[in-house]
Chain A
Amino acid sequence: EADIYQTPRYLVIGTGKKITLECSQTMGHDKMYWYQQDPGMELHLIHYSYGVNSTEKGDLSSESTVSRIRTEHFPLTLESARPSHTSQYLCASSESTGTYFGQGTRLTVV
């Protein structure tokens, strides 16, 4: 069973606020990812990392930033939240046997 944790699970925040979505995994995976997914829609890769101090932007343009200072931790930060950022954010990690997802953070910006 995958051990990947996201906090908070739900977040409602006002426009212009800075937020950080937390993601941690205990499996020692080098590869970690952030996906954005709207209800009923496909996954969109917004950031990925192949190891400590390695981060790349994904296929979907995003105003968020990420950091990877420790293998197990891959937080995502929005400097100034906007209503267009309202979505579900999924963190994942992978090895050759597959990709494993956290439970997600549902973000609502009002």
Chain B
Amino acid sequence: QKEVEQNSGPLSVPEGAIASLNCTYSDRGSQSFFWYRQYSGKSPELIMSIYSNGDKEDGRFTAQLNKASQYVSLLIRDSQPSDSATYLCAVSGGYNFNKFYFGSGTKLNVKP
């Protein structure tokens, strides 16, 4: 079982819609959760972090964490073609406290 699971996609949404990306993790003791965006041919860049249950909003992005169900999600409101990228979920702070575990990423296509 992988530490972090994501649907590889692609997830296609029309411009202006809400894109919903999901991630589950296996280590119940995990404490820190991150979302990265990776454009084709580029490095991943950190876009959101969340540490406690509930929602965290930053502009058009909302991260949601549910530790009881061991899932993290990222909502992108008013999706733009420039949001088309692969989104990686990462988790840390579990039994191997120092390690970051990355999911394999979900590819998002926003169609004009």
Interface positions of A (Cβ within 8 A of B): 2, 31, 33, 39-40, 42-43, 48, 50, 90, 94, 96-104
Contact = CB atoms under 8 A, between A and B. Distances in A.
Given A96-B32, A98-B34, A104-B43, A31 B88 contact: no
Contact of A101 (B41, B43, B98, B105): B43
Contacts, number: 39
Interface in B56-112: 88, 90, 92, 98-100, 102-105
B43 A98 contact: no
A94 B41 CA distance: 22
A97 B103 CA distance: 18
A99 B100 contact: yes
Interface of B: 32, 34, 40-46, 49, 88, 90, 92, 98-100, 102-105
A101 B45 contact: yes
